Chain A
């Protein structure tokens, strides 16, 4: 079992489904550095799911190659390859006849891990995904949609795979729980530092979750592959600009916090005070709402750090 995060390389990866004229994924080349989250985003039918399933060979490549830490997926035993990759899908696909612990233990059992090891691992993972250890003995039918998705994530992490594939993992969940799951997933990722390929068709989710975003357009062609910031500030073409939305300038503001600005010394009294980890977007919203031109940024300890003006926010 490999445990370190792995670098993932798509090298001219192409998939043409049998009986189809055009490709579903067309000469896709991109590198996901070890430990980063790459989000595949794009319109429906853009080939996101196909690209993802090429990696664990649920769908065979037509041409090109995919390498994990330099080794082609084609050179590995397909069953071993899949066991070393965490796989999470929207419908989760938990085994209804197994308890939560049984589900989480699926891959460890394939590796003949002892029962006690699985029990301990399952408890550890439940805590990691924010579920009470008492959930271990429940069946999937006794869980809510959000809880099932967490268990699906825990199951995928069970053998500590260096690479995770996630296909719209939060797609079927209501917006509030979804936002919470995203936050928890990002917190979790800070701890475990996996290489993750994350499919969504929601741009906001892509911006929030991704270290890098790959935008796929119809026919599985890569339109742009860059950091969220770069994509919002410098969309490669009309398609990307259109896809990320007219409010992309505001979305870009949401990515930065007050703490990242160069602040001027505090001179004025009675300015609105905001913590340094507030996003520029929220700060601007406050200035607009209160009809003010500047605000006082304060540190975690409550001490003032300096003043930011409207111009600073928009610079």
Chain B
């Protein structure tokens, strides 16, 4: 992916593009460069980044949900599970990569494992807290009306926990988008690729940094807004209280 620069740029006076004035001055956002490299740098990086995030949050949610079911149903398991996700969360990502690389190598899998482990903390906490917050009188009336345990979970507890779960999903998604940029420390992948690239220039390549960093921020903001909309649509009742 970085070959284009090695081919036409010198080591001392980098030739960032094809001689636009903006690029020679290392301007803040040279639109000509952005337009020229949207197709071969920015867009692929953005798509990879979205993929990284979706897979990490998807798998993270599935695991966190199963763990939360256990921690919710059998209270004794809650503290150890909470502590487990907490420990994963506090390991610095660089350290986690060093632990993982010998096992899974310099691969996207390594990145995903790290990202997934970071989502677990907030997702697990929010799912368990949401399920626990269901008022006791609501559970009593559900039981008193003859809902089975399963029906109570699916029709009452889960929908009532939905706002907390979706809030957790929002935080996890935004955090994953930002942490995923660091993944390029390992391999050139996602929006972190061009960001690390730009930072690696003798003179920070401002246009590339701003374009790719800006895309990461935009992605985070849109994901946040999208999930907020989803939350409103799915739980219209939750804004009434």
Binding site for B on A (CB under 8 A): 56, 58, 79-84, 87, 89, 91-98, 106-107, 110, 139, 141-142, 152, 155-156, 165
- Out of B139, B140, B160, name the residue touching A97 (CB < 8 Å): B160
How long is the Cα–Cα vector from A139 to B241 in the complex, in angstroms?
10
Taking a contact as CB atoms under 8 Å apart, the answer to whether B148 and A97 are in contact is no
Taking a contact as CB atoms under 8 Å apart, the answer to whether B237 and A89 are in contact is no
Given known pairs A87-B141, A93-B137, A141-B240, the reply for A110 and B147 (CB within 8 Å) is yes
Interface size class of B (residues with CB under 8 A): 20 to 34
Q: Is B43 an interface residue (CB 8 A)?
A: no
Taking a contact as CB atoms under 8 Å apart, the answer to whether B141 and A92 are in contact is yes
Contacts of A110 in B (CB 8 A): 145-147, 151
Taking a contact as CB atoms under 8 Å apart, the answer to whether A96 and B237 are in contact is yes
Q: List 21 A-B contacts (CB under 8 A).
A: A79-B146, A79-B147, A82-B143, A82-B145, A83-B146, A89-B137, A89-B144, A92-B137, A95-B138, A95-B142, A95-B160, A96-B160, A96-B237, A96-B241, A97-B159, A97-B238, A107-B146, A110-B146, A110-B147, A141-B237, A155-B145
- Out of A87, A94, A95, A98, name the residue touching B144 (CB < 8 Å): A87
Q: Is B156 an interface residue (CB 8 A)?
A: yes
Taking a contact as CB atoms under 8 Å apart, the answer to whether B140 and A93 are in contact is yes
CB distance from A100 to the nearest CB of B (A): 12
Q: Which of B144-165 contact A (CB under 8 A)?
A: 144-148, 151, 156, 159-160, 162
Binding site for A on B (CB under 8 A): 135, 137-148, 151, 156, 159-160, 162, 235-238, 240-241
CB distance from A91 to the nearest CB of B (A): 4
How long is the Cα–Cα vector from A94 to B100 in the complex, in angstroms?
49
Taking a contact as CB atoms under 8 Å apart, the answer to whether B145 and A87 are in contact is yes
CB distance from A158 to the nearest CB of B (A): 9
Contacts of A155 in B (CB 8 A): 145
- Out of A81, A93, A139, name the residue touching B138 (CB < 8 Å): A93
Contacts of A141 in B (CB 8 A): 237, 240-241
| CB nearest to A80 among chain B residues | B146
Taking a contact as CB atoms under 8 Å apart, the answer to whether A97 and B147 are in contact is no
How long is the Cα–Cα vector from A141 to B162 in the complex, in angstroms?
17
Contacts of A80 in B (CB 8 A): 146
CB distance from B149 to the nearest CB of A (A): 10
Taking a contact as CB atoms under 8 Å apart, the answer to whether A56 and B235 are in contact is no
